[in-house]
Homo-oligomer: A and B are copies of this chain.
Amino acid sequence: MAVKTLIEGVREALTEEMERDDRVWVLGEDVGKKGGVFLATEGIYSRFGEARVLDTPLAESCIVGVAIGAALNGLIPVAEIQFADFIHPAFDQIVSEAARIRYRSNGDYSCPIVVRAPFGGGVHGGLYHSQSVEAFYAHVPGLKVVIPSTPEDAKGLLKAAIRDPDPVMFFEHKKAYRLIKGEVPDGEYVTPIGTAAVRRQGTNVTCVAWGLMVHHCLEAAEAVAPEGISVEVIDLRTLQPLDRETILRSVEKTARAMVVHEDNLTGGFGAEVAAIIADKGFEHLDAPVTRVAGPDVPAMPFNHPQEEAFLPNPEKIAAAMRRLAAY
């Protein structure tokens, strides 16, 4: 085991999978010589060459559309969208095409592609380099949506995504890329898509999160622990398919639930988690299902004070934990 950053986990997964299977093909803007704007693909171009690591034209719909076509003809494309904010032009190709290839052909065709994109804020990205987009895609049947929060998972889940027979949206929190370090097992492993991880055991409050927010929740949980509030933190890891069992089992124990995400509140994926708890976990609930999320403004401003004001952080989360525990 060695301590690595989250982005190293991503890079290792790509490299190992490209070694393992020569059908794996990386494409995107600046993924080649430059190694990607975050250097997620650094060294991959020099190792595998232009035929397997393609700097595409600046056209997101084309990137995903070409990936779909290439998958139909035997490649396993891993497309990088430079920022999640710029995935919107590819919305149609992802939602109406990739997600439905198998369904609409009644199983005659399939679409094993991965679409990777860095998301999230707190890096002075402004309105167009900070967005969270997971809620859009988690609403679309036919897509899997994966968001790792640790280097180990980044590697294991990306490997699973590349091996998955269906399209996987793989979102990487850009602030977590270098901030989050952790042990990465030596040797080959794959982390199955579809199971949440309980990152911290607790008995009073269930706190559900994904991506960087998991770490904020853990910090908040530590902050309230001395006050006698015991928080269980669940890292969803994959939003679709969603591990409802782990969530509901925890709520059964704690009777209090909250969801935390960076995306704006209304219609965020937290709504789905809250709705499931309010339905399937109702009989166990002793308090309102709470959400901590970005406010309903179009996106996160560039300037520091407003960026700060937008973002959920350990203090804001801890305050919500206290309120919930005291209900």
Chain A residues within CB distance 8 Å of chain B: 61, 85, 88-89, 91-92, 95-96, 99-100, 103-104, 127-128, 135-136, 138-142, 240, 242, 264, 266-272, 274-275, 277-280, 282-283, 285, 287-291, 296-299
Residue of B nearest to A285 (CB): B282
Identical copies in the complex: 2
A140-B267, A274-B278 provided; 9 other pairs, C-beta below 8 A? A104-B298, A135-B267, A141-B264, A141-B296, A272-B275, A274-B275, A275-B289, A278-B285, A279-B289
Q: How many angstroms between the C-alpha atoms of A99 and B264 in the bound complex?
A: 14
Of A242, A282, A296, chain B has the most CB atoms within 10 Å of the CB of: A282
A127: contacting residue among B104, B136, B280, CB under 8 A: B104
Q: Contacts A141-B298, A268-B139 given; indicate if A279 touches B275 (C-beta within 8 A).
A: no
Please give me the 6 A-B residue pairs with the lowest Cβ-Cβ distance, nearest first. Answer: A139-B267, A278-B278, A88-B92, A274-B275, A282-B288, A91-B91
Sampled A-B contacts (19; CB under 8 Å): A88-B96, A89-B91, A96-B128, A103-B127, A104-B127, A139-B266, A266-B272, A267-B267, A267-B269, A271-B272, A271-B275, A274-B275, A275-B278, A277-B278, A278-B278, A279-B288, A279-B289, A282-B287, A282-B289
Instruction: Find chain B residues with CB under 8 A from A266 CB.
Output: 138-139, 141, 240, 242, 272
Minimum distance in angstroms from A117 CB to a CB of chain B:
14
Say yes or no: A139 contacts B136, CB within 8 Å. Answer: yes
Whether A275 touches B291, Cβ cut-off 8 Å, given contacts A95-B88, A138-B267, is: yes
Q: Looking at A96, A242, A267, A296, which has the most chain B CB atoms within 10 Å of its CB?
A: A267
Interface core residue of A92, A240, A280 (most chain B CB under 10 Å):
A92
Residues of B within 8 A of A138 (CB): 266-267
Select which of B96, B128, B288 is within 8 A of A278 by beta carbon: B288
* Contact partners of A268 in chain B: CB under 8 A: 139
Bound complex: CA A49 to CA B298 (Å): 37
Q: A85's closest neighbor in chain B, by CB?
A: B96
Say whether B298 contacts A103, CB under 8 Å.
Answer: yes
A99 CB contacts on chain B under 8 angstroms: 298
A100/B88 in contact, CB under 8 A: no
Min CB–CB distance A302 → chain B (angstroms): 10
B298 contacts A100, C-beta separation under 8 Å: yes
Nearest CB of chain B from residue A248's CB, rounded to whole Å: 12
Q: Check A103/B267 contact, CB under 8 A, given A139-B136, A274-B275.
A: no
Q: Is the CB of A92 within 8 A of B89?
A: yes
A289 and B278 contact, CB distance less than 8 A: yes
The answer, among B100, B140, B291, for a CB contact under 8 Å with A279, is B291
Asked if A280 and B288 sit within 8 Å, CB to CB, the answer is yes
Task: For A85, list chain B residues within 8 Å (CB).
Answer: 96
A264 to B296, CA, bound (A): 23
Complex alpha-carbon distance, A91 and B128, angstroms: 15
Contact B274 A270 (CB under 8 A): no
